[in-house]
Amino acid sequence: MTGINRRGLLKGSIFGMAAAGASVIPVAVQAQAAAPVKTEEYDVVVIGCGCAGMAAALEAADKGAKVVILEKMSRPAGNTIFAGGHFNATNTYVQKAQGLQDTIDDFYRDMMIVSQQRGDKALTRQYCEMSGSAIQWLTDECGVKFKPIVVEVFPGLNRGHVVDGKLKPGGAQLSKQMLDTVKAKKIPVLFNTKVISLIGDNRLHVLGCRAVNEDDEAVDFMAKGGVVICTGGFHANKEMVCRYMGGDVAWMPIRGSNVLQGENITLTMPFNPKYVNMDQFHAGPIHGPTRANPSTMVNYGVLLKEDGTRFLDEAETYVSVAQKMPKIIPNNWAFIIIDSQVVDVPTVKARIDRYKRAKAPIYTGNTIEEMAKAANLPVEQVVSVIKEYNDAVKAGKANTLTPPNTLEKPRLIEKGPFMAFPFQGGMTATFGGPMITAKSEVLNNDDKPIPGLYAAGNALGGIFYHDYIVGSQLTAAVIWGRIAGEQAAARAGAKQG
């Protein structure tokens, strides 16, 4: 190693062809690349055709940029299509139409409470301030309609905007309408096109990316304004989940897409980005075998283990319930018990319908005994636990139970028929990834933007920690997707000027 310094070694191993055209491709790939590589030039290249990617592409196109979306699957297949279609936002036209009151300061306070004060403060404030315009943009740009808001328990409150439409879940409807808008604007979407590396120069500026198309050909997509990473996180990559979160978590069933393999990390790593919150993830209830998703229904009844005992405060968010289950319950199975008093609540009705559509088991009975027997739960234990719970609720002492129920208005379980919904704690998405600026620029480990590299959606890190208010990820995807598209388009224009 005499005479070879670290800088020289870095150039030789990662940027061996920098002087001839500047490509950031592993040496092993370079050695095998014998055939000439086709090159296509755009102003903005977006990787990933989910909510964030399509928002970025639409915004860039509206700013006059020549943009392309590269998607490794044959159709949009990320978390968007599996999402319930919730958007968490304030100061929206939907709220105003219903006379619902809220403030940005209250919203910011609640977002920070849920993130245990560890969500990036500046980005969280920006989220709160821009959430209303995200809802408006979806309606104006893509024709997205929202159902009337149903006021929920803390922290959802009156901020949950659910996409309306024929397709279920709401995320599928959202994806269709956004993709229809992308097509109407004649933005090319190249499916079955997998990005294998970013292209950069010896200054660590991003110039584009290399992908393999559906004909198994390598193509370099050069981007004058920049590349926008919208690949989602790494929750379907078991090795990465084990590395950053531990083996117990890796056994959780997947609630979202099973194709999100961590390209937000593997593609960006050669540029030394600042990764944050890599051990954090979003979880939620799921019936793993059928993928039926009860989500916030955990707040409308009683949560029981298979031994018939309660195990968590029913005021916990559905995310917190799912995150804790594998640590409390070795086999990660439990039940949501409700009675007929809540079945017509829109939130509950929608989740019962999810179980029915998925043909997931729902155990019913006109009495607690019948329901417990149908679910193969210990009858006497369940009857005793429900009686103790109901007595405490009626006495106004639910918060003295073990565990307590700290809901402002705990739900009684006393009017048949009764229903039991089996579920597991599942993983939805990871919170970790490259830290960004307010302009969606990816930061390096020196807290400086990496020129030409942007991130949005679940691909970025810093906004969420521990938990989030339901609907926050889709809203954030639109906010920073649009910002990334706008910034990359402006950078392309500046270069042309």
Q: What is the pLDDT of residues 179-230, one digit of tens each?
A: 999 999 999 999 999 999 999 999 999 999 999 999 999 999 999 999 999 9
- For the segment 229-258, the average pLDDT, to the nearest whole number, is 91
Number of compact structural domains in the chain: 2
* Same domain? 272 vs 288: no
* Same domain? 289 vs 377: yes
Residue type, 420: A
Query: Tokens 């020549």 identify what position?
Result: 66
How does residue 494 score in pLDDT terms, banded at 50, 70 and 90?
Answer: confident
* Same domain? 435 vs 403: no
pLDDT at 10: 33
Name which of 3-17, 58-72, 130-144, 167-181 the model is least confident about: 3-17
Q: What is the CATH number of the domain that holds 210?
A: 3.50.50.60
Residues 6+ apart with CB under 8 A from 200: 15, 22, 23, 24, 206, 207, 270, 271, 452
Between CA 13 and CA 75 the distance in angstroms is: 35
Between CA 491 and CA 449 the distance in angstroms is: 13
Residue type, 338: I
Between CA 118 and CA 279 the distance in angstroms is: 13
Last residue of a domain, one of 404, 426, 448: 426
18 pLDDT more than 80 = no
* Same domain? 240 vs 313: no
More confident residue, 248 or 269: 269
Average pLDDT of every residue of the chain = 92
Residues 6+ apart with CB under 8 A from 441: 449, 450, 453, 454, 487
Q: What is the CATH number of the domain that holds 390?
A: 3.90.700.10
Q: How many residues does the chain have?
A: 497
32 pLDDT more than 80 = no
pLDDT tens across 140-188, in order?
A: 999 999 999 999 888 899 999 999 999 988 999 999 999 999 999 999 9
Strand order in the sheet with 145-146: 86-88, 160-164, 145-146
47 φ/ψ angles, rounded to the nearest 5 degrees: -105, 110
Between CA 258 and CA 426 the distance in angstroms is: 12
DSSP codes, 454-480: EE-GGG-BSS-BSB--TTHHHHHHHHH
How does residue 2 score in pLDDT terms, banded at 50, 70 and 90?
Answer: very low
Question: Residue 204 sits in which domain range?
Answer: 1-280+431-497
20 pLDDT more than 50 = no
pLDDT tens across 462-482, in order?
A: 999 998 898 999 999 999 999
* Same domain? 314 vs 437: no
* Same domain? 171 vs 200: yes
- For the segment 286-304, the average pLDDT, to the nearest whole number, is 95
Give CA separation, 29 vs 196, 262, 344, 433, in Å: 10, 19, 58, 25
* Same domain? 398 vs 444: no
* Same domain? 156 vs 300: no
434 pLDDT more than 90 = yes
DSSP codes, 16-63: TTGGGT-----HHHHHH--SPPEEEEEEEEEE--SHHHHHHHHHHHHT
Specify which residues 430 forms β-bridges with. 281
Last residue of a domain, one of 364, 392, 426: 426
Between CA 393 and CA 356 the distance in angstroms is: 30
* Same domain? 197 vs 305: no
Last residue of a domain, one of 402, 426, 450: 426
* Same domain? 449 vs 316: no
Residue type, 479: I
pLDDT at 34: 58
Q: Strand 38-47 vs strand 218-229: parallel, antiparallel, or unpaired?
A: parallel
pLDDT at 495: 75
* Same domain? 268 vs 314: no
Residues 6+ apart with CB under 8 A from 45: 67, 68, 70, 208, 209, 221, 222, 223, 226, 227, 228
| Whole-number percent of the chain with pLDDT over 90 | 85
* Same domain? 273 vs 376: no
